Structure 1
Amino acid sequence: MKKLRIAVLLSFVAILLGCGRSAYIPWEDGDYKVYATDVDYSATALGLDHDPGLLGIVDSEVVAAGSNDLVIVVERENHKDDCIEFYIVTKGDNYAVGPFDEEEFQVEKSKRGLPDFSWRKR
């Protein structure tokens, strides 16, 4: 009977350990991370690592990200409106300003000295 209990307990532990999946994080800067939001790792969003999870800042589909000491810049494909959007996140504020279209973003980039994208989804 004792062996049966041990076997059941070990099986239960193995099942629990197998239930979770590790997060796919293709880009990060400190606690800011681009992470997968779906099971096949194809949709990505920007979030703030806030243990035990990630707080979303820019929804899917994030396709590029970059940063400097002050800000994070994100490019997002908006499939609903069939357009490209750009967002600026000031570090510490934890919310995104935008969306900007490409022309507006280039003006902001020149005016504020925003960083280039250091990661681009393939």
Structure 2
Amino acid sequence: MRHMTPPHSRPVRYTAELHLDGVTDKAGFLDRCARDLALPAWFGRNWDALADVLTDLSWWGPRPQEYLLRVHGWSAFRRAAPHDAATAAGILTDTETYWASRGTPLTVVLDPLPAPPPG
């Protein structure tokens, strides 16, 4: 009997967590993105570079069926830096649109609720 190797399937979901606690400006936001999302070395720490890196997610590994980005501390960041938060929100919205049009949804959840306790 011949054994067949199953086709490699795409991972179901890639989830990333972005923690904005203590972030009060653009530089802090971009630095935190670089750290928490493990952005590639070519990330230029400006808005255009953030848009570029979020529309080329090859650095996150094999392309999954969907992406999920949980952003913690968004409300406090938006209060501290409303203009920077508006720019970041626009980039995140554009990123969701970009990936949706390519058949691999990317969902951004701002200030997600904490996970329920186990049990």
Normalising TM by the smaller chain, what interval? under 0.3
The structure in which a higher percent of residues are helix is 2
The structure in which a higher percent of residues are strand is 1
What TM-score results when the alignment is normalised by the length of structure 2? 0.25
What TM-score results when the alignment is normalised by the length of structure 1? 0.25
